[in-house]
Structure 1
Amino acid sequence: MSFQPRDWRIHPPHLFEGYRSTVLRAPSQKLIPLTGSLSEHQGPAFTAAAAPPGESDLTRNGRVNGEPLGERIIVTGQVLDEDARPVAGTLVELWQANAAGRYIHKVDQHDAPLDPNFLGAGRCVTDAEGRYRFLTIKPGAYPWRNHANAWRPQHIHFSVFGPAFATRLVTQMYFPGDPLHTLDPMFNSIADPAAQQRLVSRFDIDITEPEFALGYQFDIVLRGRLATPMEEGHR
C-alpha cells in the first residue's frame, strides 16, 4: 500500500521555544524510525462496542443530579483519508475542559468550579460516511502559566484511532473568532497559516438545532496535502 508523503511542515515541531514545556521534553537527537511488527499495524482494532450508546452525549454521560452548566453545542464532521475518502468504523475520542475552563483531573488546580454533572470526555465510532457527532458543552478558556498572563483558547482535544493502537493520532479543535488564537504558542507552533485554519471549526446553521444547541463542523483529514495538523510523536 502506498501513501502520499507526509508534509511535516504543517505539523507542530517537537521543539517550539514559545511553548515552554517542549524545551524540556523535546528530543535532543535525531529520531530513529522503528518498523513495527505486523500485529502492531493490524491490531488491536476497535468495534462499535468501544463506544456504547450515549458515550457521544457529554451532556448526559457524566450527569449525576442535573444538567451540566454552559452552552450546549453539537460538534460533527468526517474523518477522511488522504484522498478525501471517508474512514468508516474508526474510534474518535474527545476530551475537554468544562464551561468554566477546568478539567476533571487532580493536576488541574485552576481556581474555577468543577461541574459535578460534566465528565468532559466521550467517544463514538464513525459511520459508513466517516462521520462522527458529539453533543457537549462549549469549553471555557483557562490560564496555563506558560508565560505571563497566558491563556489557552477555547478548544477540544480529539483522538482518532486507526486499525491499531500504534496508528493513533491526536489533535485539537478551536472555535472561530477567538481573540486568543494569535497569542497561543500551541496554535502558533504551526507555521503554515492555512494549516492553522484547518484546526478552526466552522459554525454551521444547518447543524444547529433550534432553541437547543449551536452546531460546529470539524473534519479530520489524516494525511496528504490538506491533512489536519497532529500532535505526533514520530518524525
Structure 2
Amino acid sequence: MNDQALEYLQRDPDRHPPAHAPGYKTSVLRSPRNALISLEHSLSEVTAPVFDRALLGPKDHDLVLNHAREGLPVGERILVHGFVRDAFARPVRNALVEVWQANAGGRYRHRNDRYLAPVDPNFGGCGRTMTDEHGYYFFRTVKPGPYPWRNRINDWRPAHIHFSISGSAWVQRLVTQMYFEGDPLIATCPIVRSIADEDAVRGLIALLDRAHAVPLDSLAYRFDIVLRGARATLFENRLQGGE
C-alpha cells in the first residue's frame, strides 16, 4: 500500500456542524478555542481494531428482546436498516454499528436521567451489530419518544437513535444521530439547526420503508451511513481496488 492510499478524505466543514454553536448551549464550553490543525495521517489513524462477529450475542441486534425480563417493552416496534458505505460508495464491511436510545416515553435507562417518563423494565436501550460483505446492517427496536431538555425554555429533542460506527480506520469512526421522517420537532431542534447544509440534515433523517415492514408487527426505516473514504490511485475511470 502506498502513502497516497493511506490518506483519507478530510472532513468537509460545509456539511458538518461547527464545534461552537451558540444555539446549542453545551457546545460553548466544550468546543476548542483555537483553530484545528490538519496533520498528515499516520498508522495510528489509518488502522483500527478488527471486530469479530463471534463476539456478538444472538440478541445484541434486537433491542426488543435483549433486555426483556418479564414481558416485552412498551412502544411501537420498528426495524432500522441500511448500508454503510464510504465517500466513494464502496461498502464498509465488518463495521461495528452500536446504537443507544431513549425508551418509548423518551427516557434513557441512565441514573442521571430525571425525566418524569417511567423507566421501562424490559427495555435496555442499547444494542450492536456488524455490517455484512455488502455493508448492510439491521436491528430491531422500539421507536423512541421525544423529551424536553434544558437548553432553552421548552426545547424538546426529536425522537432519535444514537449511532456509533467503527470502520476499518480510526479516521472513519463516526458518532451521529438518526431522526425519523415527518417529525415536526426536527426543524426546531438547536442541535439539528447547527448544521447549515440542508442536504446534510436530510442525510440524518431515516425514511419510512414500507417495503421492508413486517406485516402486523413492525414498520421499517431506511438509514444509510457514509464514512470517510480512503484515497486510492485512479486506474482509468475507476478507483484502484474499488467496487
Q: TM-score, normalised by structure 1?
A: 0.90
Change (3 A) 1:31 1:115: same
- The answer for the alignment partner of 2:93 in structure 1 is 88
Counterpart of 1:96, as a letter, is: Q
Q: What are the equivalent positions in structure 2 for 1:139-154 lying under 5 Å apart?
A: 139-154=144-159
- Match for 1:198 among 199, 203, 209? 203
Shift of 1:60: 0.5
Shift of 1:163: 2.5
Aligned residue pairs: how many? 224
- The answer for the alignment partner of 1:79 in structure 2 is 84
Partner deviation per Cα, 1:100-141 (whole Å, 9 max, x = no partner): 000011111111100010010000010111111010000000
Matched, 1:70 2:80: no
Q: Classify the secondary structure of the residue corresponding to 1:6.
A: coil
Shift of 1:20: 0.4
Q: What are the equivalent positions in structure 2 for 1:193-232 lying under 5 Å apart?
A: 193-223=198-228
Q: What are the equivalent positions in structure 2 for 1:150-161 lying under 5 Å apart?
A: 150-161=155-166
Contact 2:44 2:170 in 1 (8 A): no
Q: What are the equivalent positions in structure 2 for 1:1-235 lying under 5 Å apart?
A: 1=5, 2-33=7-38, 38-39=43-44, 41-164=46-169, 167-223=172-228
Which structure's CA Rg is the greater one? 2
Counterpart of 2:179, as a letter, is: Y
Counterpart of 1:13, as a letter, is: P
Distance 1:119 1:82 in 2: 33
Q: Classify the secondary structure of the residue corresponding to 1:75.
A: strand
Name structure 1 gaps, 5 residues minimum: 225-235
Partner deviation per Cα, 1:5-26 (whole Å, 9 max, x = no partner): 4321111110001000011111
Name structure 2 gaps, 5 residues minimum: 230-243
Contact 1:98 1:138 in 2 (8 A): yes
Shift of 1:37: 5.1
Change (3 A) 1:106 1:165: farther
Contact 2:179 2:206 in 1 (8 A): yes
Q: Classify the secondary structure of the residue corresponding to 2:211.
A: coil
Q: Classify the secondary structure of the residue corresponding to 1:195.
A: helix
The structure with the largest strand share of the pair is 2
Q: Classify the secondary structure of the residue corresponding to 2:191.
A: helix
Greater shift in the superposed pair: 179-188 or 165-174: 165-174
Coordinate RMSD, CA, aligned: 1.7
Distance 1:90 1:131 in 2: 9
Contact 1:99 1:139 in 2 (8 A): yes
Distance 1:122 1:30 in 2: 36
Counterpart of 1:133, as a letter, is: F
